[in-house]
Amino acid sequence: MDKRITIREAQEKQPWTVPYARGVVYAAKQDVPHILATHCALHATKSAGKLAAVFEALDHPLNETGYGASRPLDAQLQTIKDMSADLLTAALRFANLYNFDLETELRRRVQEKNGVNPWTNE
């Protein structure tokens, strides 16, 4: 059984430490994180788009014209899981590129948006 990991552990142990494109390698050597972040943001946008397509199709059930969702949610659940993981991966990557602790920022953001810290019940 796999050991559960914290957000911090996930951030520290990312497997993609070697850039994979010539311009990206140059940017990394020149300490230009926005080039790597741009690539990451584009992938996050693609993931969000795939999620939007799943839910848009579910919003429009198959009708008499044959237009609309042709698969139930459970048939698309793997896409939802995959894209959710990809979005978290993007957040972890941003945290490393811009040197911040994602777990700390998550706690701050939840507190800011909801007025409560679910980890401390404050």
Share of the chain above pLDDT 90, in %: 32
pLDDT tens, position by position, 53-109:
888 877 776 655 555 555 567 778 999 999 999 999 999 989 988 889 999 999 999
Top-confidence residue, 27 or 76: 76
Top-confidence residue, 15 or 43: 43
Q: Show Cβ contacts of residue 121 under 8 Å, excluding neighbours closer than 6 positions.
A: none
Q: Which two tokens stand for residue 85?
A: 């993981």
pLDDT band at 12 (very low <50, low <70, confident <90, very high): confident
Domain ranges of the chain: 18-114
Q: Which two tokens stand for residue 31?
A: 């300490």
pLDDT band at 117 (very low <50, low <70, confident <90, very high): confident
